[in-house]
């Protein structure tokens, strides 16, 4: 049964254009948003998911955010690429940015790894591959190259899921749906999965029942996939 949660409607919660950018959830109380495609494109803020109040935070001090990329967020830090493809570190307690000077050759989607607050995972565009990034050591290590090029131009789907200390999965749409298994160091194509929406990444997993959801090509159809037979 689908129920309307509230009669109250709040509009314009985000006071700047963030089209083409992925919001980042810190896993607890805040969703972070990034300005894109207008003005300086360096504004930044967060939405409190409990109160639905928005707070403007310190803007990126140099350059602009890189379009069609995503941040990695945890309760202490937010990591994001600038237009020179360097990773910047936003410290929540200090409300300030610092340049890590970790450089990428291609745009990337960044993912927080819950195993280690100082580690993020980057899925780079084209066939540049998946990297693990140690923020404290300022190093990155290539994990794998995808079987086909990964595009960021249409906000393509990618989802990082940590399974255990030794294993993570990366779900992504290339020319078809694929899963990368870090323990097996292998890519597997998902059979009979419908194409996602071409304009918006929407893939997410409900962890308790291991069910994946994503928006179909018409943007009006929500697909649900039982993952028990896909990834163990």
Determine the Cα–Cα distance for residues 198 and 17; give it in Å rounded to an integer.
20
Q: Which range in 119-123, 157-161, 190-194, 225-229 is most confidently predicted, on average pLDDT?
A: 119-123
Task: Looking at the structure, tell me whether residues 26 and 45 fall in a common domain.
Answer: yes
CB atoms within 10 A of CB 52: 10
Q: What is the pLDDT of residues 99-140, one digit of tens each?
A: 999 999 999 999 999 898 899 999 999 889 999 999 999 999
Task: Looking at the structure, tell me whether residues 216 and 115 fall in a common domain.
Answer: no
Task: Looking at the structure, tell me whether residues 136 and 172 fall in a common domain.
Answer: no
Q: What is the pLDDT of residues 54-100, one digit of tens each?
A: 999 999 988 888 887 889 999 999 999 998 999 999 999 999 999 99
Here the CATH number for the domain that contains residue 120 is: 2.130.10.10
Instruction: Give me the number of domains the chain comprises.
Output: 2
pLDDT given for residue 2 in this prediction: 31
pLDDT given for residue 66 in this prediction: 85
212 band by pLDDT with thresholds 50, 70 and 90? confident
Output the pTM of the full model. 0.84
Smallest CA-to-CA distance from 33 within 48, 145, 102, 231 is with 48
Q: In which order are the strands placed within the sheet that holds 211-215?
A: 204-206, 211-215, 222-226
Task: Looking at the structure, tell me whether residues 24 and 136 fall in a common domain.
Answer: yes
Structural tokens at position 151: 């595009």
Whether residue 189 has pLDDT greater than 50:
yes
Q: Are 212 and 218 in contact (CB under 8 A)?
A: no
Residue range 162-166: mean pLDDT, rounded: 89
pLDDT given for residue 63 in this prediction: 82
Domain that holds residue 6: 1-146
pLDDT given for residue 226 in this prediction: 76
Task: Looking at the structure, tell me whether residues 58 and 112 fall in a common domain.
Answer: yes
pLDDT given for residue 18 in this prediction: 80
Task: Looking at the structure, tell me whether residues 89 and 180 fall in a common domain.
Answer: no
């Amino acid at each position: 049964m689908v129920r309307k949660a509230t009669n109250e409607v709040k509009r314009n919660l985000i006071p700047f254009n963030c089209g083409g950018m992925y919001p980042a959830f810190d896993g607890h109380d805040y969703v972070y948003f990034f300005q894109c495609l207008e003005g300086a494109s360096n504004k930044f803020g967060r939405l409190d998911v409990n109160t639905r109040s928005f707070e403007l935070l310190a803007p990126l001090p140099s350059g602009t955010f890189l379009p069609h990329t995503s941040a990695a967020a945890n309760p202490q830090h937010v990591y994001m690429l600038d237009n020179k493809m360097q990773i910047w570190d936003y410290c929540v307690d200090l409300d300030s940015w610092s340049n890590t000077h970790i450089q990428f050759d291609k745009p990337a989607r960044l993912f927080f790894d819950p195993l280690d607050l100082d580690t993020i995972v980057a899925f780079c565009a084209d066939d540049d591959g998946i990297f693990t990034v140690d923020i404290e050591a300022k190093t990155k290590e290539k994990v794998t190259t995808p079987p086909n090029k990964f595009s960021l131009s249409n906000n393509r789907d990618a989802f990082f899921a940590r399974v255990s200390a030794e294993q993570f999965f990366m779900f992504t749409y290339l020319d078809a749906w694929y899963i990368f298994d870090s323990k097996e160091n292998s890519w597997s194509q998902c059979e009979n999965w419908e194409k996602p929406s071409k304009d918006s990444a929407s893939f997410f997993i409900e962890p308790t029942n291991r069910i994946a959801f994503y928006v179909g090509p018409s943007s009006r159809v929500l697909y649900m996939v039982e993952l028990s037979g896909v990834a163990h």
